[in-house]
Amino acid sequence: MTGEPVAASPAAEAFIARARAKEARIGIIGLGYVGLPLARAACQAGFRVLGFDIDPAKVAQLNAGGSYIRQIEPAAIAAIVGRGLFAATADFDRLGEVDAILVCVPTPLGRHREPDLSFIEGTAGAIAPRLRAGQLVVLESTTYPGTTRDVMRPILESSGLRSGKDFFLAYSPEREDPGNAEFGTAAIPRVVGGDGPEALAMAAALYGEIVPQVVPVSSPETAEAVKLTENIFRSVNIALMNELKVVYAAMGIDIWEVIEAAKSKPFGFMPFYPGPGLGGHCIPIDPFYLTWKAREHEISTRFIELAGEVNASMPGYVVERLAAALDRQRGRGLNGARILILGVAYKKNVDDQRESPGLRLIELLEARGVIVGYHDPWIPEIRPTRDHPRLTGRRSLDLSADVVRFQDAVLVVTDHDAVDYKLVAGHARLVVDTRNVFGRLGLSGAAVVKA
C-alpha cells in the first residue's frame, strides 16, 4: 500500500498489530451479495469472522455449511465453517465479541428516487448500545458523501463513546461485480477513508490483509464520492451506447459492429455495451444518491439524470422493436403473441433479479396483450419485489425445441452462458436479441433481429 497512514494512539496501534497477526475478529453485518463474499475472503485470508443477519433461515443455512448465493459454492462456506473461521448469528448482542464491524446493508431508493437510509440508520442503532471502546466500524454500503460522518457517527455516539477517541469510524465502498470470475472480492483494491488518522490507519491495516492493495483517501466523503463516481461513469457510458444504438439502428448500422471496430484503437476509447435497460442494485440507483445530495447545494446534475432517462427508456424501445419485427413476420403486432423471454436476472451468470429490465419487459408486454413465459437457468422462480409484486412466483420454463417452436418470438434479455442458443436458433421463428449473443456465437440469420 502506498502512503500508508501512521497510527498514533495506543488503541489504534494495538488494533493494527492484531490485524496484521490475523488475531482481530471481524463482524460483518448483512450477509448478502456483498457481505457474504467479503466474509469468505476475510476467512480465506486467515481471519475469524462472525456474520450477522436478521434472517434466521440464512443464518441456519450458513452455519450448516450451505449457501443461498449461487456464485458462492456451499463447499466454500462449509470449508470456513469447518475450520472454525466463520459462524453466522442473528444475535446482535454478540457484536461485543468482534474487533471490527463492517456494515454491508442495502441502500435502496424511495418511491421518489430519494435515498432510503433506513437500513444504515437501523444498523447503526443496533450497534450503538453494544459498541465498546477500541472497536473499528466501517460502512461499506453505497451512499452519498457525508453519510458516514453526518448520519452514522451521531447514532453511534449516542452510546456515549466518541469517534476518533473511544471507537473508530471509516468508510470503504464495496466493489463487488457478481458473476465476474476474474475479479473476486479478494482481488479488488480497496479505497478507504477514515474519520481521523487513527481510523484510516486501522481500516487500511485490516483491508490490507484481505486485498492486494489499499488506496487511502483524505476523508470518508472522498471515499463515498469514489464509489458514486465509478457507478456514474458506467451509467453515463452505457446510456451513450444505448442512445447511439437507437440512432445507428435508424441508419441501418449495427452498434455492436461499431463498438468492436472502435475498441481496436489502443487509446481514447473504452468499450461499453448497450442493452435492454440497467439492472442490479448499483448502476440504476447509485447515481441518484448524488443527484439528491447535489440539490442540497442548489446544483443540478443534468448529465446524470439524462443518462438515467436514456437507460430507463430502453425497455420501451425493445418492445417497439419486437412489435415491428412481429408485424413484419406475422402481419400483426404484439396482441395475442406468445413470447419467451430468455433471462430475467439483471446480468449474465448471476441469480440476482433486483431492478432487472426483464421484469419491466414482462409487464410492458403483458399490458400489450402478450402471453409471456420466461426461461432463466439462474432464477427458477421470480422472487417478491416492491415494483413487480404480481410477478412473484412465476416459474422458469424448461428450454426445449417444443417450447421454442410454440413461441411467436424469443426475446433475449440476459445472455447467460448456460443457455442452449443453438437450440433456440434452430427452432425459433423469430429471435429479438438485446445482447448480441447470437452475433457473438455466429448464429445470426434472417430470423434474428437486434434490439
Look up residue 416 and give its three cell numbers: 447467460
* Cα gap 51→307, rounded to integer Å: 37
3-state secondary structure the chain: CCCCCCCCCHHHHHHHHHHHCCCCEEEEECCCCCHHHHHHHHHHCCCEEEEECCCHHHHHHHHCCCCCCCCCCHHHHHHHHHCCCEEEECCHHHHHHCCEEEECCCCCECCCCCECCHHHHHHHHHHHHHCCCCCEEEECCCCCCCHHHHHHHHHHHCCCCCECCCEEEEECCCCCCCCCCCCCHHHCCEEEEECCHHHHHHHHHHHHCCCCCEEEECCHHHHHHHHHHHHHHHHHHHHHHHHHHHHHHHCCCCHHHHHHHHCCCCCCCCCCCCCCCCCCCCCCCCHHHHHHHHHHCCCCCHHHHHHHHHHHCHHHHHHHHHHHHHHHHHCCCCCCCEEEEECCCCCCCCCCCCCCHHHHHHHHHHHCCCEEEEECCCCCECCCCCCCHHHCCCECCCCCHHHHHHCCEEEECCCCCCCCHHHHHHHCCCEEECCCHHHHCCCCCCCEEEC
Among candidate residues 282, 326, 413, 424, the one labeled active-site is 282
First-to-last alpha carbon distance for the chain, in angstroms, is 45
State how far the Cα of 377 lies from the Cα of 397, in Å rounded to an integer: 9
Tell me whether residue 43 is one of the annotated catalytic residues. no
Half-sphere exposure (Cβ direction) of 407: Cα atoms closer than 13 Å: 27
Of 296, 310, 163, 143, the residue nearest 237 (C-alpha): 310
Catalytic residues: 282
